[in-house]
């Protein structure tokens, strides 16, 4: 995992301590009322950090971890998710080794910000197909912003932007390398245009017409999100030729 494991586990341990319930009884009064060890301000501050750790380690924790007992302890769901995340952080490498899968892992949070920030909210609620669609829309919007265009979008926008032809009035180009007249320049930009068309025709469009389609498995959605991230990175790093 692309995360500082020792730091993350320390933050989780701190949060679990703060949210542990204790009796409110004192030497003078005996009561069945329960309080957390930490104050509300301390817990909220800790939760702000822990939620980001959980989003990275267990992206669907808000929907996959039960919350029925939050009435007794408003932090119950957070606590169970934190405990699960702590085990994942502690034993991830061991589990993958023992199960015979120690291949490199891909984290959505390390993808290009246009892709992940576009997808994050829907992803964390388990709407993977919609999340990929939202990421594609975000990349489309950022590309329009970079080129200063509102007259074209999606496939038409990218095919025109990566065209090998010289720019025209109102039709700037995205250049991944200087035009030296060589085959590499032509190949790179032809490939970028074809890849962008594939992202929108083969990924974004089917996902946006999701009526009757089953939810994407998370690993398949992650593969699709990675493709959108590649396109985003190309656009972001390209120079604009007008």
How does pLDDT run across 48-103, given as a tens digit for each residue? 999 999 988 888 899 889 888 777 788 999 999 999 999 999 887 677 667 766 66
φ/ψ of residue 105, rounded to 5: -105, 150
Model's pTM, two decimal places? 0.66
User: Is 77:54 a contact under the CB 8 Å cutoff?
Assistant: no
User: Is 88:61 a contact under the CB 8 Å cutoff?
Assistant: no
Task: Give the tens place of pLDDT for each residue, 213-236.
Answer: 788 898 899 999 999 999 999 999
Whole-angstrom Cα distance, residue 185 to residue 159? 15
Task: Give the tens place of pLDDT for each residue, 30-49.
Answer: 555 678 889 999 999 999 99
């Amino acid at each position: 995992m692309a995360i500082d494991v020792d730091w993350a586990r320390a933050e989780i341990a701190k949060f679990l301590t703060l949210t542990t319930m204790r009796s409110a009884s004192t030497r003078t009064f005996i009561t069945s009322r329960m309080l957390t060890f930490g104050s509300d301000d301390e817990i909220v501050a800790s939760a702000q950090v822990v939620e980001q750790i959980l989003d990275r380690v267990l992206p669907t924790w808000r929907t996959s971890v039960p919350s029925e007992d939050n009435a007794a302890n408003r932090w119950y769901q957070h606590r169970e998710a934190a405990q699960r995340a702590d085990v994942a952080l502690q034993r991830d490498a061991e589990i993958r080794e023992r199960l015979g899968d120690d291949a490199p892992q891909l984290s959505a949070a390390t993808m290009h910000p246009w892709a992940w920030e576009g997808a994050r909210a829907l992803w964390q609620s388990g709407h993977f197909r919609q999340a990929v669609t939202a990421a594609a829309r975000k990349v489309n919007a950022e590309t329009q912003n970079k080129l200063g265009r509102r007259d074209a979008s999606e496939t038409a926008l990218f095919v025109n932007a990566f065209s090998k032809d010289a720019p025209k009035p109102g039709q700037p180009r995205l250049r991944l390398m200087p035009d030296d007249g060589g085959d590499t320049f032509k190949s790179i930009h032809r490939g970028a245009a074809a890849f962008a068309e594939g992202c929108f025709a083969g990924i974004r469009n089917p996902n946006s017409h999701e009526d009757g389609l089953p939810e994407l498995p998370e690993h398949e959605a992650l593969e699709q999100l990675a493709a959108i991230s590649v396109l985003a990175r190309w656009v972001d790093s390209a120079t604009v030729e007008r």
